[in-house]
Structures are given as C-alpha cells and as structure tokens.
C-alpha cells in the first residue's frame, strides 16, 4: 500500500477517533455533540470509499455494542456514564463500536495482505 492509501485507510479515521475520545474525556462537548461528531466522521468515511460491506459491518458493530453495553448492565456489570440518555449509555457509544469494527477489520485486512475490493 502507498503512504496516501495508508493515511486514508487508517490515519484519518484513527485521528478522528483519538480526537473524539479526547473531547469526550475532557467533557468539552455534550452527548449530542459527540454523537453528531462521530456520525459525521462515519458518514464522511463511508462516502469517501462507498464500500457497502463496511456499512453493514458498521451496523453489526453498532448492534453488538448496544447488546453488550446494555446487556451487561442488566447482568450486573455496571459502568456509569455522566451523559447517558439511551438506556443508561450515551447515544454515541454504539456508533463508536461500529467504527471500531470497521477500523479493526481494515487493520486485519492490511496485516494479512488482503486487498480491498471496492
């Protein structure tokens, strides 16, 4: 892969997620603001590549995130969020799970030498 492709595939989304978690940890943005931020970054990345499989993967990651985060709350695993409007978790958390699924898959494909079929 060329440096430009690596930057597009990994560096830009990773920087966006680092910025997102930095803003979240400082408490400088509201839950809704963080949700719009991660939704905007996600939509930009999907429009940039137009890989329908990644959109499905994102949806699966978001669904798994909802299941795990809310499900574990009912099983006794308690994590507290100061801004939690969606059954005890922030709206942005499932979106972060979805983006994590996409980035981990991209990294796995890169490490294994699998080319993206756009």
3-class secondary structure per residue, the chain: CCHHHHHHHHHHHHHHHHHHHHHHHHCCCCHHHHHHHHHHHHHHHHHHHCCHHHHHHHHHHHHHHHHHHHHHHHCCCCCCCCCCCECCECCHHHHHHHHHHHHHHHHHHHHHCCCCCC
The pLDDT, as a whole number, for residue 74 is 76
5 confidence band (pLDDT: 50, 70, 90): low
The pLDDT, as a whole number, for residue 78 is 67
Q: Specify the pTM.
A: 0.80
The pLDDT, as a whole number, for residue 61 is 95
94 confidence band (pLDDT: 50, 70, 90): very high
In angstroms, rounded to a whole number, what is the distance separating the alpha carbons of residues 14 and 9?
9
83 confidence band (pLDDT: 50, 70, 90): low
């Amino acid at each position: 892969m060329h440096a430009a492709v690596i930057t597009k595939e990994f560096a830009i989304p990773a920087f966006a997620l680092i910025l997102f978690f930095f803003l979240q940890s400082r408490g400088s943005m509201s839950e809704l603001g963080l949700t719009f931020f991660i939704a905007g970054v996600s939509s930009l990345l999907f429009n940039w590549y137009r890989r329908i499989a990644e959109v499905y993967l994102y949806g699966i990651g978001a669904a798994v995130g909802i299941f795990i985060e809310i499900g574990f709350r009912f099983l006794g695993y308690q994590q507290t969020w100061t801004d939690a409007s969606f059954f005890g978790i922030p709206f942005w958390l499932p979106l972060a799970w979805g983006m994590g699924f996409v980035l981990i898959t991209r990294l796995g494909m890169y490490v294994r030498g699998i080319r993206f079929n756009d």
